Chain A
Amino acid sequence: MTSTPAKKGIDTILKKPIAAGIIIGFAAALVQALLFPAGGPVAYGFCVACHSRDFIDVIWNNIFGTSLFAAPISLAGALPVLTIVGVLIGAVVAALVYREFRLKKATALGCVKYTLGGFFFMVCALLMGACPYRIALRIGYGDLIALFGLVAIVIGVLIGVKIALKKMEA
């Protein structure tokens, strides 16, 4: 596939994580400016953990008639926030366009490990009330409590790195 220089130029910029970070920050603020009247909370423009929770809880509520917790913004209308669906579609399309889609097979043990990992990750993230992204947004919004979350994540990563290095030595 031959891509035009213009397309390549934009892609070079978009490949820089700092560009992605700035655009996500802008988009999160714009989304709050547009959607806050539908319901809070604040600094909720983008969060993988909370938006997944809203998505699955509202679906579950609709099917089984339960009343699991979701943010007001997701309970206001018929549909919750669909950010997670968008992320999956966007990343698939980008991977296909740039031919980076590769099916990576996994062992059964690996799948069990990752399922459990995802489970406990989500529980801990919801305990924090945020994934690392909403922590960033909340700090940007001036919530000092979120700083504790960031410090905790940094400590967690340090412990994780220590464990990973130990495993490599063994």
Chain B
Amino acid sequence: MDPLAKDVAIMLVPIVTIILGFIIGWLGQRSGFCSIGGIRDFFLFRQTRLLKGYVGLILSAFVFYLIFSLIVPSAFPNFFWLIENPGGILAAIPGAPGGLSVAATIICMLVGGIFVGIIGTLLGGCPLRQLVMTSEGNIKSGFFVIGMLVGALVFSGFILGWVVDLFALIGI
């Protein structure tokens, strides 16, 4: 099947994403879905209730990417990465930020990921959980979301450039 025409797709972006968000917000509120919470509960209490959700997300994403890539192949470039990815198995799929090298991307992943894990664990949840808790009336989580938005602006305005410069300087 052919994908949507470009101008139709552009018009649909805000509508489709707000509906998607509504569904995910509803599900998140009902189930307490939380990625970092799932890993935390497993380590702390050997509970797998939330972890199953996160593992389910990874598996379901793979299965449905596979199914939809068969229906609308042109909307899923570089899927079947083992065969199609021109940069080799370790090359990032298109869309990784900053146009960094593979080594630099892995360093960013490791440094960023560790702190994401620590902060998420200490403050009681991943960003989706914080959004949902905000909606449930938790004021502290509301400030977390405000902090996130400010962080995004500062990252795009300053830090992204610094990171790219830094890796260029040390030649990775």
- A interface with B by C-beta (< 8 Å): 11, 14-46, 48-49, 51-53, 56-57, 60, 66, 68-71, 73-74, 76-77, 79-95, 98, 100-106, 110-129, 131-133, 135-146, 148-161, 163-164
Return the chain A residue nearest B14 by Cβ.
Answer: A79
In the complex, chain B residues whose CB is within 8 Å of the CB of A66: 157
B42-61 interface code vs A (CB 8 A; 1 in, 0 out): 01100001101111111111
- Most A CB contacts (10 A, CB to CB) among B130, B139, B159 go to B139
Instruction: Tell whether A76 pairs with B148 under 8 Å between CB atoms, given A11-B30, A100-B29, A104-B139.
Output: no
Pair B17/A95 contact, Cβ less than 8 Å? no
Instruction: Tell whether A124 pairs with B121 under 8 Å between CB atoms, given A15-B31, A88-B134.
Output: no
**Distance between B59 CB and nearest chain A CB, rounded to angstroms:** 7
Pair A32/B60 contact, Cβ less than 8 Å? no
Pair A34/B61 contact, Cβ less than 8 Å? no
Which range holds the interface residue count of chain B? 35 or more
In the complex, chain A residues whose CB is within 8 Å of the CB of B8: 37
Pair A90/B120 contact, Cβ less than 8 Å? no
Partner among B53, B113, B141, B144 whose Cβ is within 8 Å of the Cβ of A128: B113
Pair B147/A116 contact, Cβ less than 8 Å? yes
Return the chain B residue nearest A27 by Cβ.
Answer: B20
In the complex, chain B residues whose CB is within 8 Å of the CB of A39: 10
Can you spell out 5 A-B residue pairs with CB atoms less than 8 angstroms apart? Answer: A17-B34, A42-B94, A88-B135, A98-B30, A153-B113
Pair B151/A123 contact, Cβ less than 8 Å? yes
Pair B153/A16 contact, Cβ less than 8 Å? no
In the complex, chain A residues whose CB is within 8 Å of the CB of B86: none
Add 12 more A-B contacts to A23-B27, A126-B160 (CB < 8 A): A42-B76, A86-B25, A87-B131, A89-B25, A91-B136, A111-B140, A115-B150, A121-B144, A122-B147, A124-B111, A126-B97, A142-B62
Partner among B25, B80, B91 whose Cβ is within 8 Å of the Cβ of A87: B25
Report how far A80 CA is from B62 CA in the complex, Å. 26
Instruction: Tell whether A145 pairs with B105 under 8 Å between CB atoms, given A117-B122, A117-B123, A138-B93.
Output: yes
Report how far A140 CA is from B64 CA in the complex, Å. 9
Instruction: Tell whether A121 pairs with B61 under 8 Å between CB atoms, given A36-B3, A90-B22.
Output: no
Residues of B61-91 at the interface with A, using a CB-CB cut-off of 8 Å, are: 61-65, 67-68, 71-72, 74-82, 85, 89-91
Pair B154/A123 contact, Cβ less than 8 Å? yes
Instruction: Tell whether A26 pairs with B60 under 8 Å between CB atoms, given A126-B160, A129-B105, A157-B36.
Output: yes
**Distance between A143 CB and nearest chain B CB, rounded to angstroms:** 5
In the complex, chain A residues whose CB is within 8 Å of the CB of B153: 56-57, 60, 68
In the complex, chain B residues whose CB is within 8 Å of the CB of A70: 156
**Distance between A150 CB and nearest chain B CB, rounded to angstroms:** 7
In the complex, chain A residues whose CB is within 8 Å of the CB of B121: 156-157, 159-161, 163-164
